[in-house]
Amino acid sequence: MTVDALPPRSRSAAGRSLVRTVGSNRFVIWSVFLLTHLGLGALNLLAPGLPLGDVTLVYKMWSEQALFSDYWVGIDSLWVYPIVAIVPMIEASALGPDLYASSWLSIVMILDCVAFAAITGWFTNRSRAAVGWWWIAFLLLLGPIAVGRIDSVTVPLAILGMLLLSTRPTAAAVVLALATWIKVWPAALLAAVVIAMRQRRAVVVAAAGTSVVIVAVVAAFGGGRTVFSFVTEQTGRGLQVEAPVSTVWLWLARAGVPGTSVYYDRDILTYQIHGPGVEVAAALMNPLLALAALAVGALGVWAVRRGAASPAVLAPLALALVCTLIAFNKVGSPQFMSWLAVPVIVGLTTATAAVRAPFRVPAVLALALAALTQLGYPYLYTRLLSLEPALLVVLSARNLLVFVLLAWSIGALVALGRRGGGAALADRRSHEAARPAGS
């Protein structure tokens, strides 16, 4: 009997079965994953807007200074990035300056393949194929920026570290610490792990030990005074155009408010905002970010102490902390959206069905954020800088959606804490009821 001869319900069931079979086929999913990277690589090399500009103009320059002039940023000078960030930049020089861009894209693809293997269960867990497809969709919607910045090195490392937690917490902590010494944001994941997981002592020791080794090596090469310069270099900058807090001034500039405009900062190499109150807002953003992160961390501690299961707390707490880093940051670079993939993947791959199902909501929101980000960067970025209303609407919607995702994750933590407290109370009452009279 052919499929067409089956009743409608049977045909629908057969169609779903066929989709599941094809979708979980290793050859199919890996072929699409690799084609996705090749497509993103081609966009980086050929698309308008110079999407690979940071790599070919800035990372390459830093690498050439180190290799040919023996001048190392982060050691011989202050630097905006943690010192381990220079490692992938140097590695991209292996095949020579003419192939720097291609080498960079190849390094990112290899790292992403390792992370993809971890997501899909190292070729053995077909049930995780759906999560792999989600990451493919996220990368496609985010566009060339997904593989064209230093963040694209930290994201696969962070995915690998988070997925190693349940079986190899020490190795996971080392990987997450290395990622943090490339770009600071994975520190939010480490904080979530320390709060939520029972293996926190092993994680703290491994992460601290990794950091001590890195600092000692840098100090041995004369960088003791500059090894933490990435902290101070970021504190004095102004409000970047894409930062959520900058949205108000962008609309004011569009409205023609005197003294409000977009300008290019040649020291930071990015577009920032001029306007009344901008300096005050820029000065307040760092303490506001710290307070918001502490509040979210305290909420995670409360949920755990109320009896919420550690694996259930980890994903929403990691998502809340990552969203906090984006929402209250005076830098709003489009590549920041790539960070969202990590806590979403953790939530979708968790062993607890009660966590997986609700995480479909942030999974959809993250896809929307990725799509809105690519709408604004890189192809139409000059129109955004020209304050075209349509692009301002896109950016405003994206920034608002970050707060929606933050609110969802906070709500999830509150719900977990309440349920955990109720379960703990019921458990105590059952023990009291079972206790012999007079005991």
Q: How close are the terminal C-alpha atoms of the chain, in Å?
A: 71
Query: Residue 156: which H helix or E strand, with range?
Result: helix 151-164
Residues 6+ apart with CB under 8 A from 205: 170, 173
pLDDT in tens, the chain (439 residues): 444 555 655 545 555 655 566 667 888 999 999 999 999 999 999 988 889 999 999 999 999 999 999 999 999 999 999 999 999 999 999 999 999 999 999 999 999 999 999 998 876 666 688 899 999 999 999 999 999 999 999 999 999 999 999 889 999 999 999 999 999 999 999 999 999 998 899 999 999 999 999 999 999 999 889 999 888 877 778 899 999 999 999 999 999 999 999 999 887 778 999 999 999 999 999 999 999 999 999 999 999 999 888 888 999 999 999 999 999 999 989 999 999 999 999 999 885 555 666 889 999 999 999 999 999 999 999 999 999 999 999 999 999 999 999 999 999 999 999 887 554 444 444 434 444 444 3
Domain ranges across the chain:
14-229, 236-423
Q: Helix/strand/coil (H, E, C) string of 212-275?
A: HHHHHHHHHCCCCCCCCHHHHHHHCCCCECCCHHHHHHHHHHHCCCCCCEEEEECCCCEEEEEC
Burial class (CB in 10 A: 0-12, 13-18, 19+), 52: buried
Distance of alpha carbon 279 from its chain centroid, rounded? 28
Q: Is 288 helix (H, G, I), strand (E, B) or coil?
A: helix
What tokens appear for 42 in the block? 């081609």
What tokens appear for 2 in the block? 């052919």
Residues 6+ apart with CB under 8 A from 18: none
Cis peptide before 186 (omega within 30 of 0): no
